[in-house]
Amino acid sequence: MADMKIRGRELGLPFAGTAGRFNAITDVTGVEVGTVTLVEGDHIRTGVTALLPRGRSKAHIPCAAGSFSFNGNGEMTGLAWIEEAGELQTPITITNTASCGVTRDATLQWLLKNKIGTGQDWGLPVAAETYDGDLNDINGFHVTAAHTMQALDNACGGAVELGSIGGGTGMITYDFKAGNGSASRLVEIDGETFTLGIFVQSNFGKREDFTVLGVPVGRHILHDQLRGKDQGSIIAIIATDAPLQSHQLKRLARRVPMGMARTGTIGTNSSGDIFLAFSTANENSFGSVRRSADYISNAAIDGLFRAVVEGTEEAILDSMICNETMVGRDGNISIALPLDELMDVMKRYGR
């Protein structure tokens, strides 16, 4: 998936930290992302995004995982078993609120069709959602099982297309057109460099709260608001090749709200903010009854915490920067973040 859109770093925004080659979750070796985007007529603006933690060839191998719900006004299926077992055993799909069940069930169909399993004849797929009903005919149930399986089949590594793509097609953030965002960071621990990647489906925030690298941009760009209030949700997926236990991955997931806060939100009642973190390390240990694996100590993971916070902030902002104005259901218009106005405000604040 070639990402041809300008990103925040290319605009000159001084994001902290060192990004990987693609500045995306796919910088973690093995992670693959696939999308299907549905833009039809004047009312369908939706889609589905699929993430394969170890890629197609190793989809049968679980990953250590942990999750965190900052605000539960949303859905991510499969978390009860991840909390219990400390493992992610399936691909991840992200779509709109009304299609979450469809993509969950279709993931099972895809696993069965491709004879991918973990030695059991059942599964509890991870499927997540945010609301796109301002621009999409959400109750038309336009995302199908076939679309989901196509996204899973299309999943690949490399550059990730951002913005109004896949599940992020109809999403809005701080009352600007948003959707999919991603970023990565390289983190050195004890002389070894690890990669941490973030993927967000971003759909939250009130315009007046919008902040870019400490600058209150939203207060200066108040025109053309569609929602006019804080509404929506955010799903974040964290991947890393650093060897971590499930409770440590839960700790990573808990840092996502700090990255969100940097963009201005207070975390309102209406926002479903649910996050999942997994590690692709210790691959060989998941195929044995008695497991032996390496892990980073708790005292050494602050760099990964920082990577989550910085990466989340950048991914959210890029979900808006890599976008265009969209006209959707009932003629509703969600404007793109005007980059000239953004950079003018940043310069006025010395950034």
Residue 85: φ, ψ to 5°: -95, -20
Sign of CA dihedral 113, 115, 118, 120: positive
Q: Is 230 known to be catalytic?
A: no
**307-310: long-range contacts at Cβ-Cβ below 8 A with a sequence spacing of 24 or more?**
307/17, 307/185, 307/187, 307/196, 308/196, 308/198, 308/238, 308/252, 308/255, 308/256, 308/258, 308/259, 308/277, 309/255, 309/258, 309/259, 309/262, 310/15, 310/16, 310/17, 310/183, 310/185, 310/259
Strand extents, DSSP E, 24-81: 32-40, 44-52, 63-72, 75-76
Q: Is 233 part of the annotated catalytic residue set?
A: yes
- Residue tagged active-site, from 99, 164, 271, 319: 271
| Given the residues 175, 273, 319, 334, the one annotated as active site | 273
Q: Given 233, 246, 279, 319, which residue is catalytic?
A: 233
Identify whether 273 is a catalytic site residue: yes
Q: Are 137 and 43 in contact (CB under 8 A)?
A: yes
Closest to 48 (Cα-Cα) out of 119, 123, 127, 111 = 127
CA angle in degrees (0–180, nearest 5) for 182-184-185? 155
Q: Is 14 exposed, middle or buried (0-12, 13-18, 19+ CB in 10 A)?
A: exposed
Q: Any idea which residue has 């499927």 for tokens?
A: 127
Asked whether the beta carbons of 184 and 22 are under 8 A apart, the reply is yes
Active centre residues (catalytic): 233, 271, 273
